C-alpha cells in the first residue's frame, strides 16, 4: 500500500502534477483502474477554481462512493442509500448561501433513489448531482445495476441481463433533461484524456448553474469498474468506448444557461 | 346557567353542522369558558352525515367526546335515529321538524320540535337552518346569552361573507324566540 | 355559566396549535408529505413559514421528507416534519440515521388506526414504534404525548429544546382526537422557553456549514453514522447509550388526585384526558382514584410512577392491544397491574371507562 508520503517528490525528482487543496492526500480505497479517482479530481478542481470549497457541503451517498468525504476537504453529511438528493434539499433550504453537491452511483441515484433524485431535480433545487455510471454494483460485489447493459453478465444476471426479465439500462441524463427544474444535464465519459477534459467542462457547468441560481445541475460520468467487469483497466476503458457509449450517448442534453446566453428565454424555464 | 354543558350537533354534510359547532365553541371561549369542539365526519363528505361535539365547562375539560350527551341538535332523520337513544336522562333535543316526522320523536324526551327549514326560508335564506336550530338550543338550555353567540359570528364568518352576519344573527334570534315561547 | 377574566385565547385545532407552536418556537425548515389526519399542519405551515422567513417543501414522499429533515438538521437549524402512522413507518430509516449521526429534528406523528392503511380514527397503536426507536439499530427518540391543543402548542417548544440539547430526533405522538380537537390556546411561549438562537448555539460545534464559517484553514466536518473500524461502532453505541441514560432526568408526567388515591390509572394523550373526566365523575361519588398521565413516553417516567404506585392498585388504559402496560409493569416491579384496552379506531367517551375503573378499584 502506498502512503501519502510516498507521493511526495524525493530529492532530484521534479513535481509536475500536484494534489489540489480541495482533495486531501489520503490514498483512496478505490480499486486499481477505478474512475472514481478521476471523478473526485475533476470535482475538486472545479471547486478549487470556483473558490467555493470553504462554503461547500458534500452529501455523500451509499455504494463505492460512501467514503467520498474521506477525500474532500469540505464539510460533509452522510445520506441513507438513495436519499442524497433529499438530504441535499434539506441542506440547501437550511443554508441558502452554501454550495451543495451530491456524489452518487448508479444504484444510489437511478434505482433506490430515483424518486428523491427526480423530484429534487424537478423542484429545481439549486444543487449539483454528480452521477457515476459504471453499469454495475461495485460495493456489494458486482450485482446488476439499473444501468447494466442488456447481455452484460453480473453476479445477479449470470447469463447476461435479459431485457424480457430485467428490462433495459436507464438513461438518466435524458430523463433529467426533460424536467423543467433541471438547468444543466450532460453525459460524459472518463475513458480517455479527450473525454476527461470534456467531463471537466461539464462538471464546471453543472456547478455554474447552481451558483447562478438557474436550477439543478446534473452530470453523468461513464466510468470503468475493472474489478467487477473482470477486466484490466485498459480493457475496461475500451469497453466504455465500444459498449457503453453506443447505449449512453455523450453530450450536453440541456443547458439553460447557454440558452439564456443566446437571449432566447423559453417560457417556464426559470 | 349550568356549570357544565355538552351538545352533539348532527345532520347532513352541507347543513352547516360544523359551522354552528365552531360558533358555539367560539362564543363559549369569548365568554371565558373552557370549550372543546370535536368534529366527526362520516365516510361521505358533502351529502353524508356529519356530527360534532361541543363541551362547555367552567373547569378544564377532560373528555371532548361524549357518548351520552346532555343535549343534541339533530337536523335530519338519520341523526335523530342515531342520537335520540343516547341522550342522557333529563336531556333536551332540538329536532328539525321540517325534515323529521313527529312520530319518530320520543315523547318522554324534552324536545324543541322546530320547523327550521321553513323558518330559514321565511327569514330569506334556506341555508340558515343551522342558525335557527342553534338559536333554539340557546333558548332551551340557557347555556350562553343569545347576544354572546351573535357577537361570535364576527369571529367565525369569514370577511368575504360579513354582509351575511345580520341575517345569521336574525336566524339565531328567531330560533331562540321560538324555543322560549313554545316551552 | 359564570364568566371568568382570562387572557386572550384563540380557538384552534390541535394540528393548528402545533403549526403555531413550531413557528413561535423558531422553526426554520419544514418538509412533509400530506396524510390524514394531520393535513392542517402542512397546510398552515405552507403559508406561515415563508411569512416568517422559513422554508417549506412539500416532499415527494415521507422518505424524501425525513431525509430533507436530516439534511436541514445536520446544518443545525430548527427543522421538523409531520405525518401519520403509515408515513412514520416510511421515515424510520432516516430517523435511525439521524439518531446515529447526532442530528436534531422534530417529527410529529398524528397517528391513525392500524395496522396497514387502518383508518383515520383515534389509536395509540404506534406507542411501541415511537418509544422503542422504530428504526433499525439501538436508537431511541424522545417522545412527547400532548393531550390538549395547548399542549400541542407548548410541546413544540419542549420538542426543539430537547432535540437540540441531546442532538437527537424528538417525536410528538398524538392521534386523530388530539389533532382534530378544537379548543382555546394562548399563543405565548411557555415560561422558560429557549430562544432559537440559544438552541442553535448548542450544536454549533457539530453542524455542517462550510468550513469557512470556522476559519480559513479549519478542518472539514463530517456527520455520519457509519463506523467500520474495529471497535468504532461499539464506541458510538456506548456514547448513544450514555445520552439515552442522561435523558431520564427529563421524564415528565402530569398527576391528578394522586395523593390519597387507592387506584392509580395510567393513561396518556387523548385517552389520558378522557380518563381524567371519568375519574372526576367517580371522585364526586367519593371514589379515591388518581390519574398518572405520562407526558414523555420516552424516557418513561417510571421512577415517579413507582413512587405513586406504592401500595396502590394500578390500571393502565390505552387505545391499543397492550403496549404502554409493558413499560408500566417494568416500572412498578412486583405490583399488580390491571389493563383495559380500547380497540383502535373507536371514539369513546368517559362513561365507557367507568366500569373498567370500578372493576380495577375492587381488584
pLDDT band at A265 (very low <50, low <70, confident <90, very high): very low
pLDDT in tens, B121-166: 999 999 999 999 999 999 999 999 999 999 999 999 988 999 999 9
Task: Tell me how far apart the alpha carbons of residues A110 and A103 are, in angstroms, rounded to a whole number.
Answer: 12
Q: Do A91 and C223 touch (CB under 8 A)?
A: no
- Grid cell locating B161: 361573507
Q: Do B63 and C274 touch (CB under 8 A)?
A: yes
Average pLDDT over chain A reads 93
Nearest residue to A134 via CA among A44, A30, A259, A12: A30
| Domain over B4-182 is classified CATH 3.30.360.10 | no
Of C65, C94, C208, the CB nearest to A75: C208
Specify the pLDDT at position A5: 65
Average pLDDT over chain C reads 95
Would you list the domain boundaries of chain C?
3-202, 253-362
The mean pLDDT value for C114-137 works out to 95
Task: Tell me how far apart the alpha carbons of residues A141 and A168 are, in angstroms, rounded to a whole number.
Answer: 20
Interface B:C, ≥3 CB–CB pairs < 8 Å:
yes
| CATH code, residues C3-202 | 3.40.50.970
Q: With pLDDT > 90 as the criterion, what percentage of chain C qualifies?
A: 94
- Grid cell locating C281: 365523575
Q: Do A94 and C60 touch (CB under 8 A)?
A: no
Give contacts of A129 with chain C, Cβ < 8 Å: none
**A221 CB within 8 Å of a chain C CB:** no
Specify the pLDDT at position B45: 45
Residues in chain A, how many?
270
pLDDT band at A270 (very low <50, low <70, confident <90, very high): very low
Closest-approach residue (CA) in chain A for C79 = A94
Specify the pLDDT at position B14: 85
The predicted model scores a pTM of 0.93
Residue B104: count of CB within 10 angstroms of its CB: 11
Q: With pLDDT > 70 as the criterion, what percentage of chain A qualifies?
A: 93
Specify the pLDDT at position B73: 98
Residue C52: count of CB within 10 angstroms of its CB: 13
pLDDT in tens, A112-148: 999 999 999 999 999 999 999 999 999 999 999 999 9
Average pLDDT over chain B reads 93
Residues paired with C293 in a beta bridge: C254
pLDDT in tens, C35-90: 999 999 999 999 999 999 999 999 999 999 999 999 999 999 999 999 999 999 99
pLDDT band at A18 (very low <50, low <70, confident <90, very high): confident
> A67 pLDDT exceeds 50?
yes
> C30 pLDDT exceeds 60?
yes
Nearest residue to A82 via CA among A106, A103, A108, A64: A108
- Grid cell locating C72: 436541514
pLDDT in tens, A80-97: 999 999 999 999 999 999
Specify the pLDDT at position A264: 44
pLDDT in tens, A174-195: 999 999 999 999 999 999 999 9
Task: Tell me how far apart the alpha carbons of residues B169 and B124 are, in angstroms, rounded to a whole number.
Answer: 13
Specify the pLDDT at position B44: 42
Specify the pLDDT at position C2: 47
> A243 pLDDT exceeds 50?
yes
Task: Tell me how far apart the alpha carbons of residues C169 and A266 are, in angstroms, rounded to a whole number.
Answer: 44
Specify the pLDDT at position B49: 78
> A269 pLDDT exceeds 50?
no
Specify the pLDDT at position A268: 45
pLDDT band at C288 (very low <50, low <70, confident <90, very high): very high
Interface A:C, ≥3 CB–CB pairs < 8 Å:
yes
**A68 CB within 8 Å of a chain C CB:** no
pLDDT band at C151 (very low <50, low <70, confident <90, very high): very high
**C342 CB within 8 Å of a chain B CB:** no
Nearest residue to C25 via CA among C198, C180, C144, C174: C198
The mean pLDDT value for C244-273 works out to 97
Which fold, C253-362?
Answer: Rossmann fold (3.40.50)
pLDDT band at A260 (very low <50, low <70, confident <90, very high): low
The mean pLDDT value for B10-34 works out to 95
- Grid cell locating A269: 424555464
C-alpha A80: how far from chain center: 17
Domains of chain A in start order, with CATH, are 28-140+171-264 (3.40.50.970)
Closest-approach residue (CA) in chain C for A89 = C68
Give contacts of C9 with chain B, Cβ < 8 Å: 29
C-alpha R_g of chain B: 15
Paired sense of beta strands A75-78 and C222-223, if any: parallel
Give contacts of B61 with chain C, Cβ < 8 Å: 183, 273, 277
pLDDT in tens, B169-181: 999 999 999 999 9
> CA C289, C292, C298: angle at the middle one, nearest 5?
165
pLDDT band at A14 (very low <50, low <70, confident <90, very high): confident
Q: Where is pLDDT greater, at A262 or C200?
A: C200
How near does any CA of chain B get to the CA of C280, in Å? Answer: 9
Interface B:A, ≥3 CB–CB pairs < 8 Å:
no
Site of grid cell 370500578: C358
Give contacts of B42 with chain C, Cβ < 8 Å: none
Task: Give B47's DSSP letter.
Answer: T
Q: Are C98 and C73 in contact (CB under 8 A)?
A: yes
**A48 CB within 8 Å of a chain C CB:** no
Task: Give C323's DSSP letter.
Answer: S
| Interacting residues of B165 by C-beta distance below 8 A, sequence separation 6+ | B153, B154, B157
Q: Do B36 and C4 touch (CB under 8 A)?
A: no
Would you list the domain boundaries of chain B?
4-182
Q: Are B92 and B110 in contact (CB under 8 A)?
A: yes
**C71 CB within 8 Å of a chain B CB:** no
Specify the pLDDT at position A267: 46
Nearest residue to B129 via CA among B108, B107, B99: B99
**Burial tier of C234 (Cβ tally within 10 Å: 0-12, 13-18, 19+):** exposed
> C5 pLDDT exceeds 80?
no
Q: Are B75 and B119 in contact (CB under 8 A)?
A: no
Task: Tell me how far apart the alpha carbons of residues C156 and C171 are, in angstroms, rounded to a whole number.
Answer: 10
Nearest residue to A109 via CA among A136, A142, A85: A85
**A87 CB within 8 Å of a chain C CB:** yes
Find the helix or strand (DSSP H, E) in which C110 lies: strand C105-111
| Residue among A50, A82, A93, A102 with most chain C CBs within 10 A, to mutate | A93
Amino acid at each position: 500500500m502506498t502512503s501519502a508520503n510516498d507521493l511526495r517528490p524525493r530529492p532530484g525528482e521534479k513535481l509536475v502534477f500536484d494534489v489540489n487543496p480541495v482533495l486531501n492526500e489520503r490514498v483512496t480505497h478505490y480499486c486499481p483502474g477505478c474512475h472514481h479517482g478521476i471523478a473526485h479530481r475533476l470535482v475538486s478542481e472545479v471547486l478549487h477554481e470556483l473558490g467555493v470549497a470553504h462554503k461547500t457541503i458534500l452529501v455523500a451517498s451509499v455504494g463505492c462512493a460512501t467514503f467520498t468525504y474521506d477525500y474532500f476537504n469540505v464539510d460533509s453529511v452522510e445520506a441513507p442509500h438513495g436519499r442524497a438528493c433529499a438530504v441535499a434539499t434539506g441542506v440547501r433550504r437550511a443554508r441558502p448561501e452554501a454550495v451543495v453537491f451530491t456524489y452518487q452511483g448508479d444504484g444510489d441515484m437511478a434505482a433506490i433513489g430515483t424518486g428523491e433524485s427526480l423530484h429534487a431535480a424537478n423542484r429545481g433545487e439549486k444543487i449539483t448531482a454528480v452521477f457515476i455510471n459504471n453499469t454495475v454494483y461495485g460495493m456489494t460485489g458486482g450485482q446488476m445495476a439499473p444501468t447494466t447493459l442488456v447481455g452484460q453478465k453480473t453476479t445477479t444476471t449470470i447469463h447476461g441481463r435479459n431485457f424480457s426479465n430485467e428490462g433495459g439500462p436507464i438513461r438518466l441524463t435524458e430523463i433529467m433533461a426533460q424536467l423543467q427544474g433541471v438547468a444543466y444535464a450532460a453525459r460524459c465519459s472518463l475513458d480517455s484524456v479527450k473525454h476527461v477534459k470534456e467531463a471537466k467542462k461539464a462538471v464546471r457547468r453543472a456547478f455554474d448553474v447552481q451558483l447562478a441560481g438557474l436550477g439543478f445541475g446534473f452530470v453523468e460520468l461513464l466510468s470503468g469498474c475493472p474489478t467487477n467487469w473482470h477486466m484490466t483497466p485498459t480493457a475496461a476503458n475500451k469497453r466504455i468506448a465500444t459498449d457503453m457509449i453506443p447505449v449512453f450517448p455523450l453530450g450536453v442534453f440541456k443547458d439553460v444557461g447557454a440558452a439564456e446566453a443566446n437571449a432566447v428565454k423559453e417560457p417556464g424555464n426559470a | 346557567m349550568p356549570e357544565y354543558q355538552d351538545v352533539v350537533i348532527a345532520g347532513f354534510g352541507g347543513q352547516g353542522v360544523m359551522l354552528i359547532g365552531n360558533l358555539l365553541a367560539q362564543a363559549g371561549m369569548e365568554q371565558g369558558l373552557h370549550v372543546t369542539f370535536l368534529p366527526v365526519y362520516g365516510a361521505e363528505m358533502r351529502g353524508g352525515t356529519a356530527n360534532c361535539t361541543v363541551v362547555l365547562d367552567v373547569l378544564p375539560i377532560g373528555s371532548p367526546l361524549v357518548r351520552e350527551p346532555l343535549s343534541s341538535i339533530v337536523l335530519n332523520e338519520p341523526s335523530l335515529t342515531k342520537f335520540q337513544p343516547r341522550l342522557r336522562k333529563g336531556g333536551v333535543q332540538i329536532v328539525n321538524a321540517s325534515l323529521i316526522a313527529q312520530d319518530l320523536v320520543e315523547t318522554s324526551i324534552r324536545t324543541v320540535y322546530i320547523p327550521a327549514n321553513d323558518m330559514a326560508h321565511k327569514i330569506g335564506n334556506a341555508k340558515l337552518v343551522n342558525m335557527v336550530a342553534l338559536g333554539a338550543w340557546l333558548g332551551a338550555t340557557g347555556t350562553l346569552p343569545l347576544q354572546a353567540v351573535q357577537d361570535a359570528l364576527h369571529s367565525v364568518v369569514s370577511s368575504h361573507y360579513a354582509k351575511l352576519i345580520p341575517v345569521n344573527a336574525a336566524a339565531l334570534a328567531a330560533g331562540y324566540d321560538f324555543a322560549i315561547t313554545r316551552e | 355559566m359564570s364568566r371568568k377574566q382570562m387572557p386572550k385565547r384563540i380557538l384552534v385545532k390541535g394540528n393548528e396549535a402545533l403549526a403555531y407552536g413550531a413557528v413561535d418556537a423558531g422553526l426554520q425548515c419544514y418538509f412533509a408529505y400530506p396524510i390524514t389526519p394531520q393535513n392542517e399542519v402542512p397546510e398552515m405551515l405552507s403559508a406561515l413559514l415563508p411569512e416568517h422567513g422559513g422554508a417549506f417543501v412539500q416532499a415527494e414522499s415521507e422518505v424524501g421528507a425525513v431525509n430533507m429533515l436530516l439534511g436541514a438538521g445536520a446544518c443545525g437549524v430548527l427543522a421538523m416534519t409531520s405525518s401519520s402512522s403509515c408515513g412514520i413507518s416510511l421515515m424510520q430509516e432516516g430517523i435511525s440515521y439521524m439518531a446515529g449521526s447526532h442530528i436534531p429534528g422534530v417529527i410529529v406523528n398524528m397517528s391513525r388506526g392500524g395496522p396497514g392503511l387502518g383508518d383515520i380514527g383515534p389509536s395509540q397503536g404506534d406507542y411501541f414504534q415511537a418509544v422503542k426507536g422504530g428504526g433499525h439499530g439501538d436508537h431511541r427518540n424522545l417522545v412527547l404525548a400532548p393531550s390538549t391543543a395547548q399542549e400541542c402548542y407548548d410541546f413544540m417548544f419542549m420538542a426543539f429544546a430537547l432535540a437540540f440539547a441531546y442532538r437527537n430526533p424528538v417525536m410528538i405522538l398524538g392521534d386523530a382526537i388530539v389533532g382534530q380537537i378544537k379548543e382555546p390556546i394562548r399563543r405565548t411561549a411557555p415560561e422558560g422557553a429557549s430562544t432559537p438562537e440559544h438552541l442553535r448555539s448548542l450544536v454549533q460545534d457539530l453542524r455542517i456549514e462550510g468550513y469557512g464559517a470556522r476559519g480559513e484553514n479549519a478542518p472539514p466536518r463530517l456527520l455520519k453514522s457509519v463506523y467500520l473500524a474495529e471497535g468504532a461502532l461499539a464506541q458510538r453505541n456506548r456514547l448513544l447509550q450514555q445520552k439515552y441514560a442522561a435523558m431520564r432526568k427529563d421524564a415528565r408526567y402530569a398527576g391528578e388526585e394522586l395523593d390519597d388515591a387507592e387506584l392509580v390509572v395510567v393513561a396518556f394523550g387523548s385517552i389520558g384526558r378522557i380518563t381524567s373526566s371519568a375519574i372526576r365523575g367517580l371522585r364526586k361519588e367519593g371514589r379515591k382514584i388518581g390519574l398518572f398521565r405520562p407526558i414523555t413516553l420516552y424516557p418513561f417516567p417510571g421512577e415517579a410512577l413507582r413512587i405513586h404506585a406504592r401500595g396502590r392498585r394500578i390500571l393502565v388504559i390505552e387505545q391499543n392491544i397492550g403496549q404502554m402496560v409493558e413499560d408500566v409493569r417494568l416500572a412498578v416491579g412486583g405490583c399488580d397491574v390491571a389493563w383495559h384496552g380500547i380497540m383502535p379506531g373507536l371514539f369513546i367517551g368517559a362513561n365507557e371507562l367507568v366500569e373498567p375503573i370500578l372493576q380495577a378499584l375492587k381488584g
